[in-house]
Amino acid sequence: MAAPLVTRHDLTISALTLRTADFPSRVRAAAQAGFTGIGLSVDHYLQARASGLTDRDMAAMVAEHGLRIDEIELLKHWARPETHTREELEADNALLRMAASLGVSRIHAGLFEPHTLPDLVAGFRTVCRRAQDAGATVGLEFMPFSGIRDLGRVRRVIEEADRPNAGIILDTWHIARAHTPPGLLESLPAGLVINVQLNDAGPVPFADLREEGRHHRLLPGEGRIQLTELLRLLRRKGVQAPYSVEVLSDELDAHDPAETARRAYGATCRVLDAALG
């Protein structure tokens, strides 16, 4: 039986959905599948540069395929920079240079080590100032296995940092696995949300959430997260943030990038059709 026809949606395929693809393969796969934007990690960018591509080459390739580079990741050494190595700090610096050089409007940030709230606020405020100089906003993401584990914490960091170019990234896998109460989502100001990452999860969480989150996520609609209800809740609240598809999956990694992108686009469009019409 053929899959139902779907509406075309404005979607970004995040860097880690195609984490094994080189830059040209990533761009071709995204464009052929119907995506309008791609994400790029600092590692993918450095690999592309090492292959001989310049920033101008990358920008031209993206434009030739009718795409944008919508997001880059991951800032993760910003809370107490003095505790990190030169190489770690250079990875964050490279992201800021990427934003300026490639014209990327959104940089994603996370954190894996625990820090005090004052250190989180001070570090995030500083990195947002630096990103503003590069013309970019910074989206901060909570992850249940990280140093910022829940929505309440990430909201507090952003509100206390009080920067105009900062916002929250909502990842549906993180929402589910962090057992986020619906009331926290209901109380979230719509304008704080600057990106919604779509993915799905199986019925039973792994004992090791980091292992599950990095290797065993599911395409939207193929798991047990109530995505339709969640997306309708965000729409009722007035959230107008762009959607990305972020599915870290060893199973998808085994496929050709074009096949992964095609499956990701179709599955996500069907979920959005069901939720939003």
User: Residues 190-209: what's their mean pLDDT?
Assistant: 98
pLDDT of residue 1: 42
Q: Which fold has domain 11-276?
A: TIM Barrel (3.20.20)
Query: Is 70 exceeded by the pLDDT of residue 3?
Result: no
Query: Is 50 exceeded by the pLDDT of residue 110?
Result: yes
User: Residues 102-121: what's their mean pLDDT?
Assistant: 96
User: Residues 49-70: what's their mean pLDDT?
Assistant: 98
- Tens of pLDDT, residue by residue over 128-174, are 999 999 999 999 999 999 999 999 999 999 999 999 999 999 999 99
Mean of all residue pLDDT scores within the chain = 96
**Domain locations in the chain?**
11-276
Whole-prediction pTM value? Answer: 0.95
pLDDT of residue 2: 42
Burial of 203 (0-12, 13-18, 19+ CB in 10 A): exposed
Percentage of the chain surpassing pLDDT 70? 98
- Distances, alpha carbon 105 to alpha carbons 18, 33, 198, in Å: 20, 23, 19
- Tens of pLDDT, residue by residue over 28-45, are 999 999 999 999 999 999
Amino acid letter, 235: R
Which string of b and e fits 234-253 if b means at least 16 CB within 10 Å? beeeebebbbbbbbbbeebb
pLDDT of residue 6: 59
